Structure 1
């Protein structure tokens, strides 16, 4: 039985979107970040990343975490890759070559996209935002070249699209960056128009900020 720990307002949004795409049977255990609570250890505190029960699952106290039988995964993109392969179907890599490509896109998202997209969302310093946008533009140039003339990263929507789209989502409010990469912006809109993304986003919006 698959059990996913985490809340929608976290990187758990990635596997939660994937689970919505696949319809896989699973248990979702809402776990909130401890830093969002005034007293994570209070008797009436919700289950959070400092709760002993969750720390027994992931001792470093980060979400998401996935338990699938004896397997425990604690990195969102690794969880997505595992769930896609477990579910099979069009989201999953169809062969070893496509698996390697999906793994490459996951590492690309983690190293060339998210380290720069997240500060664009979070920073209040315009100089920091523009410096990170300039760094992100290098990764986006690679993505733009690949997506020009394509609808998806592969010949269909796969777990690779989901992972990269979620890492890029943080920066989509930076209009000059998106306007400079129209194929990427159109691709991101296609990803987010999918019913499973919309269902995930509705659930995320319903969570307390």
Structure 2
């Protein structure tokens, strides 16, 4: 077990955006406690607890948002930045191997957060009822058209040929796959996306975050 001072510490709840760095760490074969530490702050699904409202957390992130990562003197918030840091730190094929790949990983992460999440996440919380769901689904159609095109002839988003699993897939699948399956979104019109969702969310390191109704056989 590495010394506590050398461990990555994630502040967040598994049923939140913190699920992204947790998923990535599991992909590296790391376990909570033995290899990295989890500080449960609660989340939007379960409700936040006193940790998120503490002065200590405010010093780490003045916006009081999760997740937050602490690794030695490095303090980061925003799941994309945290995942990119972890991948750069631990290396291997899940990280970008060239400046172009690193930029594309960042591109997909930003796309997932800026475009896909604002339409999938409200459906998870049932905002706007059926009328709201129809509006969000309509917003998603051109986005899914684009993703379906990018996945044509590919298994993953980054790399030559069929590609290889990277942080880009974690960031995208944590929204399109995890949220999409939670709301039983119909991916049939986008077969490449549907196949990719199945492939990514059936990986051994992916499992339903606590509090999220997402199952590998859903």
Taking structure 1 as the reference length, the TM-score comes to 0.85
Moved over 4 A (4+): 34-37
SS, match of residue 56 in structure 1: helix
**1:21 alignment partner in structure 2:** 27
C-alpha distance 175-75 of structure 1, shift in aligned 2 (>3 A): closer
**1:32 alignment partner in structure 2:** 42
**1:43 alignment partner in structure 2:** none
Distance, in Å, in 1 between the alignment partners of 2:43 and 2:210 is 14
Please list the CA deviations of residues 26-58 of structure 1 after superposition, one character each: whole Å capped at 9, or x if unmatched.
222121138955xx7xxxxx5431122322222
Residues 66-145 of structure 1: pairs in structure 2 closer than 5 A? 66-122=69-125, 123-145=127-149
* Unaligned runs of at least 5 residues, structure 1: 41-45
The answer (yes or no) to whether the contact 1:34–1:49 under 8 Å persists in 2 is no
1:193 aligns with 2:197: no
Judging by fraction of residues, say which structure has more helix: 1
SS, match of residue 79 in structure 1: helix
* Unaligned runs of at least 5 residues, structure 2: 1-5, 213-218
SS, match of residue 60 in structure 2: coil
SS, match of residue 204 in structure 1: coil
SS, match of residue 86 in structure 2: helix
Distance, in Å, in 1 between the alignment partners of 2:102 and 2:185 is 33
**1:162 alignment partner in structure 2:** 170
* Number of positions where the alignment pairs a residue of Structure 1 with one of Structure 2: 195
Distance, in Å, in 2 between the alignment partners of 1:195 and 1:205 is 19
Alpha-carbon distance, 1:69 to partner? 2.0
**2:216 alignment partner in structure 1:** none
The answer (yes or no) to whether the contact 1:12–1:63 under 8 Å persists in 2 is yes
Alpha-carbon distance, 1:157 to partner? 0.6
**1:204 alignment partner in structure 2:** 210
Higher deviation after alignment, 27-36 or 70-79: 27-36
| Higher RCO, 1 vs 2 (CA within 8 Å, ≥6 residues apart) | 1
Higher deviation after alignment, 187-196 or 115-124: 115-124
C-alpha distance 47-104 of structure 1, shift in aligned 2 (>3 A): same
